[in-house]
């Protein structure tokens, strides 16, 4: 086969530009996802949000469109393949092609694995955090491949995919397992899709104040303030800025990474 090679940048002009790109962000209606979607829209990219709450998604898309870009919401539970397929069909009617897919949507659970509902919660988390990105990639990546334009897929994982912390206090078995598996999926797809000029990378956020912060253990905020090298929580727009970089021409040689974006958490825990 003839491999698609993405040429290196030759100058800094537009090296970090994603202007005019067509971007899909799951869970883009709130939290980290909205920070990611906003970063792309503010950088001149068109954005399609995929989320379960259509009303919230439409409101988010309307705000994104204020940046002078095209934006829309497509409703789907990413854990359900049929819903993802229908959303993907709509996306490819809205966009003639997709340049970037950001698999961001994810959930956690307060249930410990051996609790009465622990196994059902395990499946619920795995279905969203691992099968969801697989469903999205399965429905979007082949058309990115066939378009012959290259592109970028970015999987939003977690530092929880690297290590187990406070396992007795935090009910994180399903979350940790899903993110560790997502990291391996990222590396695998980076090899498979690299032949077509599609780069696949992962970001592993650390402490960010989002909906998933509700389950933080007692004393964690004090640890962030006093021990974390950054001495603060991250902001969703910062994860968005990293996504914009990974999608830009400047990052064309970056493939298959799972990179912490954690304020230095991995240094101390």
Domain of residue 29, CATH code: 3.40.50.720
Count structural domains, the chain. Answer: 1
**Torsion from C-alpha of 5, 8, 14, 15, nearest 10 degrees:** 110
| Residue 3 maps to a domain | no
**pLDDT tens digits along 153-170:** 999 999 988 887 665 666
Domain that holds residue 169: 22-268
Place 1 in a pLDDT band, splitting at 50, 70 and 90: confident
52 contacts 74 by C-beta, under 8 angstroms: no
Candidate list 21, 34, 81, 175, residue with the active-site label? 175
- Sheet with 71-75, side-by-side order of all strands: 71-75, 46-51, 22-26, 100-103, 151-156, 198-205, 258-261
Q: What does the pLDDT look like over 30-54, one tens digit per residue?
A: 999 999 999 999 999 999 999 999 9
Q: Is residue 13 part of a domain?
A: no
What is the rounded radius of gyration, in angstroms, for the C-alpha atoms of the chain?
A: 18
Active site residue 175: yes
What pTM was estimated for this model as a whole?
0.95
Alpha-carbon distance of 262 to 149, in angstroms, equals 32
Q: Which of 234, 244, 219, 228 is nearest to 166 (CA)?
A: 219
Residue among 253, 262, 240 nearest 102 (CA): 240
Handedness of CA 77, 78, 80, 84 (dihedral sign): positive
């Amino acid at each position: 086969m003839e491999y698609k090679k993405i040429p290196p940048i030759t100058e800094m002009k537009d090296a970090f530009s994603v202007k005019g790109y067509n971007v899909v962000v799951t869970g883009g209606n709130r939290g980290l996802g909205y920070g990611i979607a906003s970063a792309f829209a503010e950088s001149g990219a068109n954005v399609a949000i995929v989320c379960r709450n259509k009303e919230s998604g439409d409101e988010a898309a309307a705000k994104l469109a204020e940046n002078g870009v095209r934006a829309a919401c497509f409703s789907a539970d990413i854990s359900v393949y049929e819903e993802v397929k229908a959303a993907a069909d709509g996306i490819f009617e809205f966009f003639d092609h997709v340049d970037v897919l950001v698999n961001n949507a994810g959930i956690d659970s307060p249930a410990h694995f051996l609790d009465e509902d622990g196994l059902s919660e395990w499946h619920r988390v795995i279905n969203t955090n691992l099968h969801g990105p697989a469903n999205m990639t399965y429905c979007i990546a082949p058309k990115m491949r066939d378009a012959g334009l290259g592109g970028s897929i970015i999987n939003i994982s977690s530092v929880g995919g690297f290590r187990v912390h406070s396992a007795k206090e935090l009910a994180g078995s399903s979350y940790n397992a899903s993110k560790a598996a997502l990291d391996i999926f990222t590396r695998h797809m980076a090899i498979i899709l690299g032949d077509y000029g599609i780069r696949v990378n992962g970001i592993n956020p650390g402490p960010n104040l989002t909906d998933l912060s509700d389950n933080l253990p007692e004393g964690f905020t004090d640890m962030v303030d006093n021990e974390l090298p950054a001495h603060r929580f991250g902001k969703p727009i910062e994860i968005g800025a990293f996504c914009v970089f990974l999608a830009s021409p400047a990052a064309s040689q970056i493939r298959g990474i799972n990179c912490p974006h954690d304020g230095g958490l991995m240094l101390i825990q």
